[in-house]
Amino acid sequence: MDKAFWEQRWQNRDIAFHQPHVYEQLKQLWPLLNLPRESAVFVPMAGKSRDMIWLATQGHRIIGVELSDIAVREFFTEGGQTPARTSEGDFEISSAGPFSLYCGDFFDLRPEALSDVVAVYDRAALIALPAAERKRYAETLAHILPRDAIIFLVALDYPEHEISGPPFSVPRQEIERLFGETFKVAVLDAHDGLAACANLRKRGVTRLEETTYLLRRHPIERQA
- Domain hosting 172: range is 3-13+23-217
Q: pLDDT truncated to tens, each residue of the chain (224 aa)? A: 566 776 777 666 655 555 668 999 999 999 999 999 899 999 999 999 999 999 999 999 999 999 999 999 999 999 999 999 999 989 999 999 999 999 999 999 999 999 999 999 999 999 999 999 999 999 999 999 999 999 999 999 999 999 888 899 999 999 999 999 999 999 999 999 888 888 889 899 999 999 999 999 999 764 44
DSSP state for residue 113 in the 8-state scheme: G
- Sheet harboring 84-88: ordered strands across? 84-88, 91-96, 99-103, 61-66, 40-44, 117-122, 150-157, 209-217, 183-192
Identify the CA nearest to 166 among candidates 207, 126, 206, 106. Answer: 126
Name the pTM for this structure. 0.93
Q: What is the pLDDT of residue 9?
A: 74
18 is a domain residue: no
Radius of gyration of the chain (CA): 17
What are the start-end ranges of the H helices in the chain?
Answer: 3-11, 24-29, 51-57, 69-78, 131-144, 172-179, 198-203
Q: What is the CATH number of the domain that holds 112?
A: 3.40.50.150
222 is a domain residue: no
Coarse DSSP helix, strand, coil percentages of the chain, rounded to the nearest 5 percent: 35, 25, 40
40 is a domain residue: yes
Count structural domains, the chain.
1
State the number of CA atoms in the 13 A half-sphere of 29 facing the CB: 21
35 is a domain residue: yes
223 is a domain residue: no
67 is a domain residue: yes
Q: What is the pLDDT of residue 14?
A: 59
Please give the torsion angle defined by the CA atoms of residues 26, 144, 140 and 27, in that order, rounded to the nearest 10 degrees.
0
Written in H, E and C, the secondary structure of 83-103 is CEEEEECCEEEEEECCEEEEE
